[in-house]
């Protein structure tokens, strides 16, 4: 019987397999940031251990960093960033600190440097590590104990998850994006639909996505409960990687591409579960509730809790509407928004900024609008195209790179009761600031919303 892509990559990385034990899996790349690593480094020191492969490890400062120029004013945040610097220096790990040309959100910089490649195992103390699966590797988030484990051994003990295929048939209609697709998938299978699985996104609509779009889709796998999501590599993948600083070159490139082409699910392979979704039926999608599965087409209305048969889902919907300050039956396109955030590991890449700029060009925003590039290299590329001027002319704020308002660990937060349209990945209670209310949207919907002050699809702009 044939094997799925996930099985092929997994098997390639098994260091040791024994009956009744999890596989010991080799890790090709370990990404580090300031929030989930300090206690891991402390653990190493206490046990007198070293980092086994600093040359397979890279660190960046992203979660805490301010997105306006200047030092970190919060002393606790500053200590955390300084701790990362000390740890990186002590253990010989490459670090991209604030102000460095290579600094950025951890899941933006890996692909950008060409460090994220097909067939690799990649981990990071951050649940959105699933982003890197867009290149056809197995990438997943881990906790601090596992960060310490990978630092010390470059391996992780793990049971292979089950495999799920999400078959996306048909083509995405014009104006419908990768973000709308993944929000629709999460709404369909729910926040627990992917628990215990590695998801492979397949089908015509997925093949037609750019690498940026594929990263957006894989990024939010965790919001459907799946620790990892992946897409088989193809010419789009190879074209993205070629010439990047850490991509193979010359003969090594040819050998790598030949191997990468074998990284696809065999025709006779069997998935543990298959979900189908028809891309041609999709429209711009937004969330109305407090988990990413509580979403609906922007053209629809805030649902009534009565629509949910399951009593647990019904009570979750009641609670979500109360927190969100929404009334069932209100058309989503009439929901007023006071803050727009474009950025994050979900939608902070150049393509996302271009999409937002295309809508804001020649228009004026009526909301507080933060445009936060995912990395300093994205920022530089955007400025070379003049996107920064488009944003500034529209009245939006053009910021430095970081995680920013996605999780509000830096000063970019919502105040209680404020409502955002956000290109990030989580609409949890208080995620963007205590009492803040979040609607997850694509960069295009975010930009259109900034123009009208209500949740708006670009097609509905005058």
Partner 1 sequence: MEAFTTHTGRAVPLRRSNVDTDQIIPAVWLKQVSRTGFENGLFAAWREDPSFILNNPAYQGASILLSGPDFGTGSSREHAVWALQQYGFRVVIAARFGDIFRNNSTKMGLLPVILPSEVVERLQAAAEADPTVEITVDLAEREVRLGSESWSFEIDDYTRWRLMEGLDDIGLTLRHADDVAVYENGRQPWLPTTV
> Measured from the CB of residue 338, what is the shortest distance to partner 1 in angstroms?
20
- Closer residue to partner 1, CB minimum distance, 160 or 207: 160
- Cβ pair 327, 302 in contact under 8 A: yes
> Measured from the CB of residue 98, what is the shortest distance to partner 1 in angstroms?
15
- Closer residue to partner 1, CB minimum distance, 255 or 274: 255
Q: Which residues contact 17 (CB under 8 A, 6 or more apart)?
A: 23, 24
Largest Cα–Cα distance in the chain? 64
- Closer residue to partner 1, CB minimum distance, 241 or 355: 241
CA distances from 58 to 38, 85, 139, 331, 418 (A): 14, 12, 15, 46, 36
- Listed in order, strand segments (DSSP E) in 318-362 are 339-342
Parallel, antiparallel, or unpaired for β 419-422 and 162-169?
Answer: unpaired
- Closer residue to partner 1, CB minimum distance, 132 or 363: 132
- Closer residue to partner 1, CB minimum distance, 331 or 417: 417
> Measured from the CB of residue 175, what is the shortest distance to partner 1 in angstroms?
29
> Measured from the CB of residue 243, what is the shortest distance to partner 1 in angstroms?
14
- Cβ pair 131, 96 in contact under 8 A: no
Nearest to 161 by CA among 215, 111, 200, 124: 200
> Measured from the CB of residue 203, what is the shortest distance to partner 1 in angstroms?
24
Distance between CA 400 and CA 100 in Å, rounded? 11
- Helix, strand, coil share of the chain (percent; to 5): 40, 20, 40
> Measured from the CB of residue 196, what is the shortest distance to partner 1 in angstroms?
7
How many Cβ atoms sit within 10 Å of the Cβ of residue 29? Answer: 23
CA distances from 387 to 67, 372, 392 (A): 17, 12, 9
CA distances from 401 to 173, 318, 329, 424 (A): 31, 37, 38, 14
- Closer residue to partner 1, CB minimum distance, 126 or 180: 126
> Measured from the CB of residue 314, what is the shortest distance to partner 1 in angstroms?
10
Enumerate the β-bridge partners of residue 33.
60
| Residue entry with tokens 């010390």 | 152
> Measured from the CB of residue 323, what is the shortest distance to partner 1 in angstroms?
10
- Closer residue to partner 1, CB minimum distance, 69 or 76: 76
- Closer residue to partner 1, CB minimum distance, 200 or 223: 223
Distance between CA 410 and CA 403 in Å, rounded? 8
> Measured from the CB of residue 394, what is the shortest distance to partner 1 in angstroms?
29
Q: What is the CA radius of gyration of the chain?
A: 21
Distance between CA 70 and CA 93 in Å, rounded? 25
- Closer residue to partner 1, CB minimum distance, 52 or 368: 52
> Measured from the CB of residue 431, what is the shortest distance to partner 1 in angstroms?
5
Cite the DSSP H helix spans in 15-143.
Answer: 38-47, 75-91, 106-113
- Closer residue to partner 1, CB minimum distance, 8 or 363: 8
**What DSSP character marks residue 159?**
P
């Amino acid at each position: 019987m044939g094997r799925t892509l996930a099985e092929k990559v997994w098997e390639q990385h098994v260091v040791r397999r024994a009956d009744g034990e999890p596989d010991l899996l080799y890790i090709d790349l370990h990404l580090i940031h300031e929030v989930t690593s300090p206690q891991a480094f402390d653990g190493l020191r206490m046990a007198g251990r070293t980092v086994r492969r600093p040359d397979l490890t890279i660190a960046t400062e992203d979660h805490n960093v301010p997105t306006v120029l200047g030092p970190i004013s919060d002393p606790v945040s500053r200590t955390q960033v300084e701790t990362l610097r000390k740890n990186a220096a002590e253990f010989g790990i490459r670090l991209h600190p604030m102000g460095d040309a290579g600094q950025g959100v951890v899941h933006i910089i890996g692909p950008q440097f060409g460090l994220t490649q097909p067939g690799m195992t990649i981990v990071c103390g951050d649940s959105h590590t699933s982003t890197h699966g867009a290149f056809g590797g197995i990438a997943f988030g881990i906790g601090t104990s596992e960060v310490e484990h990978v630092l010390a051994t470059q391996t992780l003990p793990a049971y292979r998850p089950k495999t799920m295929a999400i078959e996306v048939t048909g083509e995405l209609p014009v104006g419908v994006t990768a973000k709308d697709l993944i929000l629709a998938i999460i709404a369909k299978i729910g926040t627990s639909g992917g628990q215990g699985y590695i998801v492979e996104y397949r089908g015509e609509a997925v093949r037609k996505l750019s690498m940026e779009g594929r990263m957006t889709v894989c990024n939010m796998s965790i919001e459907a409960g799946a620790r990892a999501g992946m897409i088989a590599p193809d010419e789009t993948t190879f074209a993205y990687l070629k010439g990047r600083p850490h991509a193979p070159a010359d003969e090594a490139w040819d050998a790598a591409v030949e191997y990468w082409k074998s990284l696809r699910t065999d025709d006779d392979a069997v998935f543990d579960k298959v979900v189908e979704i028809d891309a041609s039926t999709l429209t711009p999608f937004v969330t109305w509730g407090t988990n990413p599965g509580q979403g609906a087409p922007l053209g629809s209305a805030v649902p009534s809790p009565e629509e949910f048969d399951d009593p647990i889902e019904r009570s979750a919907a009641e609670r979500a509407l109360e927190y969100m300050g929404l009334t069932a039956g209100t058309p989503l396109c009439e929901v007023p928004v006071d803050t727009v955030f474009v950025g994050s590991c979900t939608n902070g890449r150049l393509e996302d900024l271009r999409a937002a700029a295309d809508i804001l060009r020649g228009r004026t925003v009526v909301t507080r609008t933060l445009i936060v590039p995912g990395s300093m290299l994205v920022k530089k590329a955007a400025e070379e195209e003049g996107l920064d001027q488009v944003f500034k002319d529209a009245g939006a704020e053009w910021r430095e790179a970081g995680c920013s308002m996605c999780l509000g660990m830096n000063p970019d937060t919502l105040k209680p009761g404020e409502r955002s349209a956000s290109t990030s990945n989580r609409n949890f209670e208080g995620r963007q600031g205590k009492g803040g209310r979040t609607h997850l949207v694509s960069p295009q919907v975010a930009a259109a919303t900034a123009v009208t002050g209500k949740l708006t699809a670009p097609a509905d702009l005058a």
